[in-house]
Amino acid sequence: MIDDPEEELSEEEKAAAAAWGDMADDDGDGGDGTAPASGPMSNRVLDQDEIDSLLGIAKGEGGEEKTSGIQAMLNSALVSYERLPMLEIVFDRLVRMLSTSLRNFTSDNVEVSLDNITAIRFGDYLNSIPLPAMLGVFKAEEWDNYGLLMVDSSLTYSIVDVLLGGRRGTAAMRIEGRPYTTIERNLVERLVNVVLNDLTATFDPLSPVTFRFERLETNPRFAAIARPANAAILARLRVDMEDRGGRLELMLPYATLEPVRELLLQMFMGEKFGRDSIWETHLSGELWQTEVNINAVLDEVSVPLNEVLNWKPGSRLDLEVTPDSMIELRCGDVRLFNGQMGRKGQHIAVKLQDRLIK
């Protein structure tokens, strides 16, 4: 007796089988309800929306891009970069120093805060920059690579307003749709130099480096300092001047940080990879207290082996030395000093003359 296979299927499995059967009938009918000659069922063809969804190029409501499918898997793999603990400490120090420097620069009450530090692809960052904005391109001289400093429009107008004597308590005027003037560019360039000087000082305890201002751009396409797919570190800073302010964004490609990558992986300043400084200090201290044997060598002669074999108790070996000859002091096979032999009280002594080991 053979059991009916439909009895072993659950209700959900039966419903799924029926749905696939209906789709097969719809795709395979020739108009008269008969299946094509190639077989009882034909492969279902995906429409364009399903293909776009599979590839991850579909858009959500309102035209917003929605990451899904293969594109979501690629993004999750590409944006996962290693964490650099020491870099977070460097940026924290930059915030403290920049607060003081900007107070002196603007003669106003300035507060700088660090919003976040993220890893991002360089191309994605350029596409996400809110325009209009000013992009300062700078070079790390010792590392022979570049970085990017973005000053948004709010901070640009606020700096111009503060430096040119704008009244407190009034928001900076923003005029959209026009390029930045020469005065605005020059004032922002001064601001960028202040930030770069503090950034140089913050990296100094870790690795001496000089960040030199290169140029100021308003079009992100002209500020391409790395390939779009390259990894980069992005630090977002918030600058508040009472009721005015804006954002600074500091972008450093991983290629720029590669010369100091090992130092940035440290958990705290002065960490030595694979070394125990406490044990090294203890070992070096004990070595200075170690007792060693010093041999005073009067002379060395070469004797044939057959003559050595004929030596007997009472045989005499003549050394070509005199009481005024120099002798050597050795520790093992290492020659340490030359000296002259003499007597002190009831003991034979050696007076050191020349140091042989440097």
Residue 358 has pLDDT above 70, yes or no: no
pLDDT band (50, 70, 90) for residue 120: confident
Question: What's the whole-number average pLDDT of the chain?
Answer: 78
Section 37-41 average pLDDT: 47
| Order of strands across the sheet that contains 295-297 | 295-297, 326-331, 334-344, 347-355
Enter the tokens of residue 183.
């005065």
According to DSSP, the β-strands at 111-121 and 133-140 are: unpaired
Characterize 150-167 residue by residue with b for buried, 16 or more Cβ atoms within 10 angstroms of its Cβ, and e for exposed.
Answer: bbbbbbbbbbbbbbeebe
pLDDT band (50, 70, 90) for residue 354: confident
Token pair 């940026």: residue: 91
Among the ranges given (5-14, 73-82, 115-124, 166-175), the one the predictor scored with the smallest mean pLDDT? 73-82
Residue 231 has pLDDT above 60, yes or no: yes
The percentage of residues in the chain with a pLDDT greater than 70, rounded to a whole number, is: 74
What pLDDT, on the 0 to 100 scale, is given for residue 318?
A: 82
pLDDT band (50, 70, 90) for residue 266: confident
Token pair 């003499």: residue: 342
- Orientation angle between helical segments 85-106 and 182-203, nearest 10 degrees: 130
Strand partners, 275: none
Enter the tokens of residue 11.
């209700």
- Choose among 213, 217, 230: nearest CA to 125: 230
Among the ranges given (30-44, 182-196, 260-274), the one the predictor scored with the smallest mean pLDDT? 30-44
pLDDT band (50, 70, 90) for residue 1: very low
User: Which of the two residues, 54 and 273, has the higher pLDDT score?
Assistant: 54
CB 329 within 8 A of CB 337: yes
